[in-house]
Structure 1
Amino acid sequence: MRMQINKAFQFTHQGPLSTTLEPVDRPVPEPEAEQIVVKILAAALNPVDVQLSSSSDAILGMMQVQPASPTYPKIPGMDFSGTIHAVGTSIDRARFNVGDEVFGLAMDITGKGTLQEYLAMTPSPADGTQGSHVVIKKPEGLTHVQAAAMPLVYSTIYTGFVHHGHLTYPSEATQNEQQQQGPAAGKEKGKSVLVLGGSGGTGSMAIQFATQIPEVNGRIVASCSAKNASFVESLGAAEVIDYTSQNVVEAALNSPYAPFDLIYDCVGGADFIPHLDELLVNDPEDPRRGMYVTIVGDKTGRDSMGGPITNDLNPVQKDRKRYVCMMLEASTTQFETMYTFLERGGQVLIDSTFGFNDAAKAYARLESARAVGKVVVDFTK
């Protein structure tokens, strides 16, 4: 009997994935008792893939994601969509069965990523416990390419807005109640949100997410270039700041929607840090209002590692009670809110798709900084 082949792309040394990726054939994994094996049909690429592959051993050691001497080879990738190929003996068949279409996030950043045809994983529990492998059923209305583009971006936004920004993503009941009451008079009431980097894959979905929060009531400001202003406005931004012709900090300070309950930063840098007391709401009755949440940190290089690691390297961030350089928090219950987000018209912007054999070209597109939205590898092409 001929052995099934698990085609994959791996890298064996530090550097940009557009130049370090190489194809490899591996055996198809067998599931352990608590595992499922997913046949991956699409995988979205993320800047963190490139950051991890380009980071030094010292940085990765500080992150405690691997020993000081990393073991190569590594397979990159976190987002995926596909079908269940096999299930372990202890898997609850009410959740997962062979043939089910699923999508999710594999946050194993030690190099057991999604750029391979078959991936074994232990699904996170259904009770809301955080986990590194979050898998749910794929909505019928999404293609595998669309589904693969969703998880990391959505989870990053949900973590920033809800867990750190303390905004409430509404239940179906509260959304229906808002619709019955009609829009509030103007946009003078409610909380306000500033999205830095509103035209990118994360920023564009963040604007859509904010539009679905009743307490924000459309009070959304976003920064982007002039050429993307109309697009960002179409997503729901009430005001656009053109970073190519305006000082973004000054424009934010002078915005009619300032001070903000949440500044959601997809860009990075430290320009806003000296002005947070002026830019953020200060409510003695609700001290949780007014947060600056960055998914990048104060670094501005695309290939260098961001996140809380930058707090250790740049201590200016450390003691700000309303500054959060966030780490991703994902769970099954969080992911299931994606169904509601999609039902209300939310979508992820896809820049381009590449065939499986063109994975290196796909990473070249991501590394170019010209992609507007997600870059996805379609394994069926």
Structure 2
Amino acid sequence: MRAVVVSTFGGPEAVEVVETEVPEPGARQIRIKVGAAALNPVDAGVREGVFGGAGERLGLGWDVAGTVDAVGADAGWTVGEEVVALLHGTVKPLGTHAEYAVVDADAVAKAPAGADAVRAATVPLNALTAAQALDLLEVAPGRSLLVTGAAGAVGGYAVQLAAHRGIAVTALAREADADLVRSLGAARLAGAEEGGFDAVLDAAVLGEPALERVRDGGAYVGVIPGAQPAPVRGVRTAAVEVRADGARLAELVGLVEKGVLTLRVAGTYALDEAARAHARLAEGGVRGRLVLVP
């Protein structure tokens, strides 16, 4: 099968498409025939060597949508089911940017009804990150939340999930994205120096400037593990480290089916065009996710 890997670190030119053996599922695992797989900033980080693994061939891709193709013992899934899943891990020999992917059975959920594989592939990593970040913030309904990077993939899901919970959401985004973030559920855009929020979800990775917008005794959560600023003024700081969670993913799929979460695709690329997709991601300004299709 074909798979997207990096053998040396660097820019988009480091991305390779290689031929490799089809992986076999073990106990409590399933193999998915990949219908589509989203490209995320974490894949660029792996490509650049941010997470280590020098001298190894590293597979790219965390998100996957497709069809169950084979099952291991006690997997609990049936060949032919349409599913989505998160394949967690920065240093792994194969990712989801491939024709087939093996994932743990408890990381899998049924695909959202009515959504094709391309759109479904945008759910696992970004929606789970947003949901788990909101869990860390513990923002009660009616309290105020600022989401930075609100027009991005994680930020957009965070705005929708928070608004659905009855949280008063303010977006930090470009003026050009004002209509977009309001359509996702943000009540308004933040002013240049506005602060005093009960909590901040820093999807734009602004760090201390975002922390300054939290009221004394509030909460800050970032999206890069270990990179959150130090606590100040009694503000609790943390960073989400996304976890594969099939049950939670199923809940998020349910919200997709109810229209609470919007699936946004910025563009599609054939698997053989993976380097081009990485180059587009590096340009910035992507609204939604770029998706690879084998």
User: TM-score, length-normalised on structure 1?
Assistant: 0.71
Structure 1 residues 139, 362: CA separation in 2 closer, same or farther (over 3 Å shift)?
same
Tell me the CA shift for residue 44 of structure 1.
0.0
Distance 1:149 1:24, change over 3 A: same
Post-superposition shift, 1:281? 6.1
Q: Distance in 1 between matches of 2:170 and 2:42?
A: 26
Q: CA deviation at 1:321?
A: 5.5
Contact 1:104-1:151 at 8 Å conserved across structures: yes
Name the aligned partner's letter for residue 21 of structure 1. Answer: V
What is the deviation of 1:340?
3.2
- What displacement does 1:29 show? 2.1
Q: Please give the secondary structure, in 2, of the residue aligned with 1:24.
A: strand
Distance 1:136 1:371 in 2: 26
How far residue 21 of structure 1 moved from its aligned partner, in angstroms, is 1.5
Please give the secondary structure, in 2, of the residue aligned with 1:261. strand
Given candidates 312, 317, 327, the residue that maps to 2:230 is 317
Q: For 1:295, give the aligned amino acid.
A: V
Q: Size of the alignment, in residue pairs?
A: 291
Q: How does 1:215-294 map to 2 (within 5 A)?
A: 216=167, 219-241=168-190, 247=192, 250=193, 252-253=194-195, 259-272=196-209, 275=212, 279-280=214-215, 282=217, 290-294=218-222
Return the alpha-carbon distance in structure 1 between the equivalents of residues 230 and 153 of structure 2.
25
Matches within 5 A, 1:160-199: 160-162=133-135, 164-167=136-139, 190-199=142-151
| Structure-1 residue corresponding to 2:282 | 367
Q: Which runs of 5+ in 1 are unaligned?
A: 1-5, 61-65, 125-133, 169-188, 254-258, 283-289, 297-306
Question: 1:301 matched to which residue of 2?
Answer: none
Which of these residues, 25, 33, 58, is aligned with residue 31 of structure 1? 25
The runs of 5 or more residues in structure 2 that have no matched partner are: none
Counterpart residue identity of residue 42, structure 2: V
1:43, distance to aligned residue in structure 2 (A): 0.4
- What is the aligned-residue identity percentage? 28
Rounded Cα–Cα distance in structure 1 between residues aligned with 2:91 and 2:170: 37
Corresponding residue to 1:295 among 216, 223, 240: 223
- When residues 339 and 29 of structure 1 are mapped into structure 2, their CA distance, relative to the original with a 3 A threshold, is closer
**Whole-angstrom distance in 1 between the partners of 2:4 and 2:19:** 9
**Structure-1 separation of matches of 2:287 and 2:159:** 15
> Aligned partners of 2:200, 2:125: CA distance in 1, in Å?
20
The residue that corresponds to 1:208 in the other structure is 160
Q: Is the 8 A contact 2:2 2:99 kept in 1?
A: yes
Matches of 1:208 and 1:22, distance apart in 2? 36
> CA-to-partner distance for each residue in 1:40-91, whole Å, 9 max, x for gaps?
11000000111122125xx63xxxxx6xxx4421111100101111111332
C-alpha separation in 2, matches of 1:137 and 1:273: 36
CA pair 345-105 structure 1, distance change in 2 beyond 3 A: same
- CA-to-aligned-CA distance 1:333-379 (integer Å, 9 cap, x gap): 21121133211431132111112221111111111112111110122
Query: By how many angstroms is 1:123 displaced?
Result: 1.9
- What TM-score do you get using the length of structure 2 for normalisation? 0.91
CA distance in 2, matches of 1:322, 1:358: 43
Deviation at 1:233, TM superposition (A): 1.6
Tell me if the contact between 2:29 and 2:104 (Cα under 8 Å) persists in the aligned partners.
yes
Segment of structure 1 superposing worse, 146-155 or 370-379: 370-379
Residue 84 of structure 1 aligns to a residue whose secondary structure is strand
Q: Does the Cα contact within 8 Å between 2:33 and 2:69 map onto a contact in 1?
A: yes
- Aligned-residue CA RMSD (Å): 2.2
